Structure 1
């Protein structure tokens, strides 16, 4: 199961978060743990260079995309290899929505479309869609046409 997808800025402020199957009382712990992990390791990291960690029998894959940090947390079948695929789909979609690796301002300007992408990629803690074109089609917000 994918437990969490988080985006933060360089200062550690959470921009977007999605938790699945994580009790509310544990979410603060995860937020602070992931932000500290990023602060310790992402300084000077190349764009989209993947980092891997494990904590309490879960796997964490994280990276920088532009000025934004991305964290994906999973367990069971979502090991570091599966999470690398998930984070690749997420970063590709974010770059596609923004037109380039985002600054914090550009990310927040495109917040709604990025959230729609996340909802299409991850559904109830499972990887749902990985195809870039399909995700683009699904987030257009047009009602289905009746033929």
Structure 2
């Protein structure tokens, strides 16, 4: 299960956070842990360079994309390799929506569309869609042409 998806700006402010199966009292812990992990390790990192960590028997894959940092936390079948695929789909979709690696301002300008894309990629902690063309069709809020 994908436990968490967080996107923060370069100074650690959370822009988007989604939790699945994480109790409310643990969310603050995860939020502060992931932001600290990113500020410690993402300085000077290249765009889309993946970093891997583990904490409390879960896996964490994170990267920087423009001015935002993306964190994905998973357990069980979502190990480092599966999370790398999830984060690749997320970063490539964000780049498509923003037409380039986003600044914080551009990310916030496209916030609604990015959230729709994230809902199509990950739903209730399970990876749903990885095909960018299908995601684009689904966020238009029209029924898909193919079944």
Once residues 141 and 67 of structure 1 are traced to their aligned partners in structure 2, the CA distance between those partners, rounded to angstroms, is 29
SS in structure 2 of the partner of residue 34 of structure 1: helix
SS in structure 1 of the partner of residue 38 of structure 2: helix
Count of aligned positions: 145
- Runs of 4+ aligned residues of structure 1 deviating over 4 Å after TM superposition are none
Task: Give CA deviations for 1:92-146 in whole Å, capped at 9, x if unaligned.
Answer: 100000000000000000000000000000011000000000000000134679x
Unaligned runs of 5+ in 1: none
State the partner residue of 2:52: 52
1:133 aligns with 2:133: yes
- Tell me which residue corresponds to 1:122: 122
Change in Cα spacing, 1:144 to 1:129, as seen in structure 2 (3 Å) is closer
3-state secondary structure, aligned to 1:49: coil
In angstroms, what is the RMSD of aligned CA positions?
1.1
Structure 2 gap segments, 5+ residues each: none
Q: CA deviation at 1:19?
A: 0.2
SS at the partner of 2:60?
A: strand
Instruction: Calculate the TM-score normalised by the size of structure 1.
Output: 0.96
Contact conserved, 2:61 with 2:84, CA < 8 A, in 1?
yes
> d(CA) in 2 for partners of 1:123 and 1:70?
17
Q: What TM-score comes out, normalization by structure 2 length?
A: 0.96
C-alpha distance in 1, partners of 2:97/2:3?
24
Q: 2:5 matched to 1:2? A: no
Relative to structure 1, is the Cα distance of residues 143 and 133 closer, same or farther in structure 2, using a 3 angstrom cutoff?
Answer: closer
